[in-house]
A and B are shown apart, each in its own frame.
Chain A
Amino acid sequence: MIELKDLSVTFGRGTPMETPALRGISLAIPSGQFVTVIGSNGAGKTTLLNVLSGEVTPESGQVLIDEADVTPWPTHKRARLAARVFQDPMAGSCANLTIAENLALAGARGRTRRFGGAVTKDLRAEAKDRLARLGLGLEDRLDDPMELLSGGQRQAVSLLMATMNPMKILLLDEHTAALDPKIGAFVVDLTRAIVGERRLTTLMVTHSMRQALDVGTRTVMLHEGQVVLDVADDERRGLKVEDLLHMFEKVRGQELDDDALLLG
């Protein structure tokens, strides 16, 4: 169970650039739920994710993971409980390390790192096994540096890395936005498969209303740092993109002028 209680974040407080990013958001995510988060630019989606991963410390409010207050925990400590895939395919791995070394880094998340060799026989076997499931032929390229991979391949590996060890919540930050549609669809399918198979509690930020409704079991819409729509299960099942738009307009009482939300 992940609980966000009355979170507020303001960037550049006390300067002319002062922008409230989150204004008292509260959200409870039961174990095993797959939540998609949608909203226009500046709605606070990424900030919400950064607060969960520990990269941004909220001014007020609490982050509870299984009833433990993790609000003051720095990112590296939080990583034990929260795994993350970044929007930029280059951000999730080290370009100059090999595929096997990157997986070894991820395989040690959540436990103490040792002086022993990182790329062991066991790790190579496990890495091969996991990579083979991608069907990208990467299992034969364990010793290739990560920089030789395409953006889509890197993002698929990032997803594997994030889900290698157990976690309390998987954070996906528009992780298909920078990919071309075909490989993007592949990564979405892979996400579904991994999350479904392991019953991971997941929070996926997306820019596409289509994706927000197609993937996951619950959809939350943010606007100006607040939750304006929260639908799950039966209510969500029959929803179409147009309905979502309509509901959004009703809640906000204003026209939606962000084309990016309509497209895709």
Chain B
Amino acid sequence: MSLIAFLGTLETGLIFGLVALGVYLSFRILQFPDLTVDGSFPLGAAVAAVLIVDAGANPYLATLLAAVAGAGAGLMTAWLNVRLKILNLLASILTMIALYSINLRIMGRPNIALLGEPTVFEPLDRLGIPGTMAVPAALFVVVVIAKLAVDWFLTSEIGLAMRATGANPRMARAQGINTDFYTLAGMAISNALVALAGALFAQSQGAADVTMGVGVIVVGLAAVIGGEAVILPRTIFLATLACVAGSILYRVAVALALNAEFIGLKAQDLNLITALLVAGAMVLPSVRAPVKRALKGDKRIVGRLK
């Protein structure tokens, strides 16, 4: 893989690190299987693209409003669940489907090109460093800030209440925690992060497309689960680090798989590879223990392996 290709991979990995942080908040903290992200990711892209191209808005303001729109999508899913008592997974699917139409309405067309338009990455051009290096560096800073902000939030009293809401809602209520409120808030933050990623992705790739959300949830999950398989999430700091690392590793793994021509994989195999990676990462923790024992020379298992 060339340096340019690697930097591009890193760039995508970092942007999806934000998705992974959002998915971590819904899946791991709130235990809310949230498929809204397949809709909120293109929602962020759509809002940012329309504001920049059609309204001529400041790209920073456009990106901020994209995150706010994502928060709205998360609130919608959570509201369907806590107020209307619709099963969490189904509630998120309903929002996701609805967002497909909403995104088309927002954009007014299936895709918007951002090439030559002002973006949040524009000031980087003045640094005199090639964009292929400056953009990943800037994104690295953004992702580190987001990671540390999530760490800080989750160790605060309010964040702790949110963790209790996901881990043991009955106990949380008995401790005076309004679990409905924390579910709404958590889902809003989660989808705001995902929409922010969508807005940044559109600006870095030069286009927003209504279909760009397909499979985002699986990629986010791959990053969270894969990251946990590599870095044991003993603390919040390590858990969020695992999300970001998982996201980058996932992109590198995919790029390597597609680049290794002898395997014969093509770009259209991407979703298949992702599914295999997620399945593999989910099995890994249960496989790891026997392998470790075998390496330490456990006779029973060594015998079995022979």
Chain A residues proximal to chain B, CB less than 8 Å: 53, 55, 74-77, 79-80, 83-84, 86, 91-97, 101, 104-106, 108-110, 113-119, 161
CB of B167 within 8 A of CB of A95, answer yes
B170 at the A/B interface (Cβ < 8 Å)? yes
Partner of A97, one of B157, B158, B164: B164
Q: Could you count the A-B residue pairs with CB atoms below 8 Å apart for me: how many are there?
A: 87
Q: How far is the CA of A86 from the CA of B161 in the complex (A)?
A: 19
Range of interface residues on B (Cβ < 8 Å) = 20 to 34
Give, as a whole number of angstroms, the nearest-CB distance from A83 to chain B.
8
Closest to B161 in A: A113
7 pairs, CB–CB < 8 Å, chain A vs chain B: A55-B170, A55-B173, A76-B179, A94-B164, A96-B167, A104-B160, A114-B157
Across chains A and B, which 9 residue pairs bring their CB atoms closest together, nearest first? A79-B176, A113-B157, A75-B173, A94-B167, A118-B160, A109-B176, A118-B157, A76-B178, A76-B173
CB of A91 within 8 A of CB of B163, answer no
Give, as a whole number of angstroms, the nearest-CB distance from B252 to chain A.
30
CB of B155 within 8 A of CB of A108, answer no
Chain A residues contacting B167 (CB-CB under 8 Å) are 94-97
B2 at the A/B interface (Cβ < 8 Å)? no
B168 at the A/B interface (Cβ < 8 Å)? yes
Give, as a whole number of angstroms, the nearest-CB distance from A82 to chain B.
9
Chain A residues contacting B178 (CB-CB under 8 Å) are 74, 76-77
CB of A115 within 8 A of CB of B157, answer yes
Q: How far is the CA of A74 from the CA of B170 in the complex (A)?
A: 12
B138 at the A/B interface (Cβ < 8 Å)? no
Chain B residues contacting A83 (CB-CB under 8 Å) are 174
Which among A91, A116, A118, A161 has the greatest number of chain B C-beta atoms within 10 A? Answer: A118
Main secondary structure of the interface of B (DSSP, over half): helix
CB of A117 within 8 A of CB of B155, answer yes
What 1/0 mask marks residues of chain B from 68 to 91 whose CB sits below 8 Å from any chain A CB? 000000000000000000000000
CB of A113 within 8 A of CB of B168, answer no
Q: How far is the CA of A104 from the CA of B174 in the complex (A)?
A: 14
Give, as a whole number of angstroms, the nearest-CB distance from B29 to chain A.
10
B132 at the A/B interface (Cβ < 8 Å)? no
Q: How far is the CA of A243 from the CA of B174 in the complex (A)?
A: 36
Closest to B170 in A: A91
Q: A97-B160, A113-B158, A118-B160 are in contact. Are A108 and B174 (CB under 8 A)?
A: no
Partner of A105, one of B153, B161, B170, B179: B161
B118 at the A/B interface (Cβ < 8 Å)? no
CB of B174 within 8 A of CB of A84, answer yes
Q: How far is the CA of A115 from the CA of B154 in the complex (A)?
A: 9
Partner of A114, one of B155, B158, B168, B174: B158
Q: How far is the CA of A53 from the CA of B176 in the complex (A)?
A: 11
Q: How far is the CA of A74 from the CA of B157 in the complex (A)?
A: 21
Chain A residues contacting B172 (CB-CB under 8 Å) are 76, 105
Chain B residues contacting A74 (CB-CB under 8 Å) are 173, 178
Partner of B157, one of A79, A108, A161: A108
Q: How far is the CA of A234 from the CA of B170 in the complex (A)?
A: 39
CB of B164 within 8 A of CB of A118, answer no
B171 at the A/B interface (Cβ < 8 Å)? yes
B268 at the A/B interface (Cβ < 8 Å)? no
What 1/0 mask marks residues of chain B from 151 to 191 whose CB sits below 8 Å from any chain A CB? 00101111111011001101111111111000000000000
Q: A114-B157, A115-B157 are in contact. Are A94 and B176 (CB under 8 A)?
A: no
Give, as a whole number of angstroms, the nearest-CB distance from B174 to chain A.
5
CB of B173 within 8 A of CB of A79, answer yes
Closest to A85 in B: B174
Q: How far is the CA of A92 from the CA of B156 in the complex (A)?
A: 21
Q: A53-B174, A84-B174 are in contact. Are A94 and B159 (CB under 8 A)?
A: no
Give, as a whole number of angstroms, the nearest-CB distance from A140 to chain B.
18
Chain A residues contacting B164 (CB-CB under 8 Å) are 94, 97, 105
